[in-house]
Amino acid sequence: MKWNQQTIAVTGGAGFLGQKVVEQLEKKGCKNVFVVRRKDYDLRKQSAVKRLYKNVRPDIVIHLAASVGGIGANRDNPGKFLYENLIMGTELLEQARVNHIHKFVTVGTICAYPKFTPVPFKEEDLWIGYPEETNAPYGLAKKILLVQSQAYRQQYGLNAVYVLPVNLYGPGDNFDPSSSHVIPALIKKCIDARRNGDDSIVVWGTGKATREFLYVDDAARGIIMAAQKYDKSDPVNIGAGFEISIFDLVNLIVQLTGFKGDVIWDKSKPDGQPRRCLDTTRAREEFGFVARTSFETGLKRTIKWYKQQDVA
């Protein structure tokens, strides 16, 4: 099939990552890209998912839509995040089977990995233990979609693939303190503190945990490459292949934002998973994906974007 002539439905296509995926698909000459919006199709409802497939008749589905947040949001919404992520993905995959679509790409989460996964995380280690407690319901909901995609490939021949992006960041990220992830949360804290003349900021945890971060444009490119070139049931990590401690991350963002005050560590708050860093060998070998954006460059672009929104 001529991939760029297919009708591609992108769930969550109006979101942070989704906008970049849609943008890059259109730049590649894909003329029939349909952005699935919640106001039109509530994917938590089977009737809406059936209506989506009937109305759009997609050849390819890229499933990005998710109910997700940082440590605090995961801690406060375990039931909601489990149910909504599980039901959306399950119904979308089932209707993909019923409608005989050409390809289904599920975008999973690094939260699916066990709490004490050896670093760097290899795809075959997904099942060696239980996820970190604060994000386990979300991670497990996403991981069951891997099982479903593999089962549907085995029984029905559905070409379903599963990719695991590491923590994303970049311009357009979610900066809402109630649900944002660590990078936008820290950027907002530092810039707001400068603006307000505050002499300190409070950061959760001990700073000992490590994380890996992938610039959103790189993530979108990796997902599209998997959609184009990858046709196997094995999950694939998509990441930048490095880790940084939260302590060092805070210091870097403090430096790049120009915040001159003190950093107070609230050690009563959770660190989350102790370490995160992906082995990205499979993505490189299977479809040639390598991250291009350096971490400091990506942070500078993200900070610049947030400052422009703040001024506006």
Residues designated catalytic: 138
Phi, psi of 265 (to 5 degrees): -90, 120
Separation of alpha carbons 27 and 35, rounded Å: 15
CA 77 vs CA 16, 48, 132, 248, 271: distances in Å: 20, 24, 15, 29, 17
DSSP assignment string, 70-115: -HHHHHH-HHHHHHHHHHHHHHHHHHHHHTT-SEEEEE--GGGSBT
The CA dihedral of 73, 302, 272, 74, to the nearest 10 degrees, is: 10
Other C-beta atoms closer than 10 Å to the C-beta of 150 total 18
Q: How many residues are there in the chain?
A: 312
Separation of alpha carbons 127 and 139, rounded Å: 12
Helix (H, G, I), strand (E, B) or coil at 181: coil
Question: Which letter, b or e, does each residue of 244-253 get, where b requires 16 or more Cβ atoms within 10 Å of its Cβ?
Answer: bebbebbeeb
CA 217 vs CA 18, 21, 22, 161, 227: distances in Å: 10, 8, 11, 20, 15
Kindly state the tokens that stand for 191. 């810039």
